[in-house]
Amino acid sequence: MVVLNRIYTRTGDDGTTALGNGERRPKFDLRVSAYGTVDETNAAIGVVRLHLADAPEIDAMLGLIQNDLFDLGADLAVPQREGKAERLRVVASQVDRLERDIDTLNERLSPLTSFVLPGGTPAAAHLHVARTICRRAERIMAELAGKPDEPVSEAAIRYMNRLSDFLFVASRAANRNGAGDVLWVPGQNR
């Protein structure tokens, strides 16, 4: 249970922030950037959900994803250390659920004949924004994982990889199952 009685603490006024284990890091630290960008992904998904009154299935899937993203932020905020009690971690079943949701939405989509430009319905356009933020979070997480003594769980990285796929497929679903996709026309404006 998290209890937040006081929002400002002044402890970050020196340009540092605390990880979930109490360790202080600069606010520009790669780990802080990773979970901050996961949070940004979550906020973008919140905007998407404002446009899904006619797509309750996608909205429900995104509701679960938003909770997962808080789990993922908690996972990143407490680096795994040997000999330490295990904290909240993203697990394989969360990745599996995303894959099932991708398959469910993808079954209804018309085949792609070109790359899709971000656009179409407001929900689809916002899903593309969320997808690009998600990809940035994944890149930061992969960079973090490549550093010595900066563990990132494989499940967390897989989750973000699948999430960007989900957001792409969901954008097509929000575009009348692909019928409203805006397709790239190579060289159209030459």
Pairing mode, strands 24-26 and 16-18: antiparallel
pLDDT at 7: 74
Q: How confident is the model at residue 1 (pLDDT cuts 50, 70, 90)?
A: low
**Secondary structure (H, E, C), 78-133:** CCCCCCCCCCCCCCHHHHHHHHHHHHHHHCCCCCCCCCEECCCCHHHHHHHHHHHH
Helices marked H in the chain: 30-49, 56-77, 92-106, 122-145, 154-174
Q: pLDDT tens for residues 73-127?
A: 999 998 877 656 567 899 999 999 999 999 999 999 988 889 999 999 999 999 9
Question: How sure is the predictor about 10, in pLDDT bands with cuts at 50, 70 and 90?
Answer: confident
Residue 21: pLDDT band (50, 70, 90) is: confident
**Residue reference for tokens 């040997």:** 82
85 vs 138: which has the higher pLDDT: 138
pTM comes to: 0.91
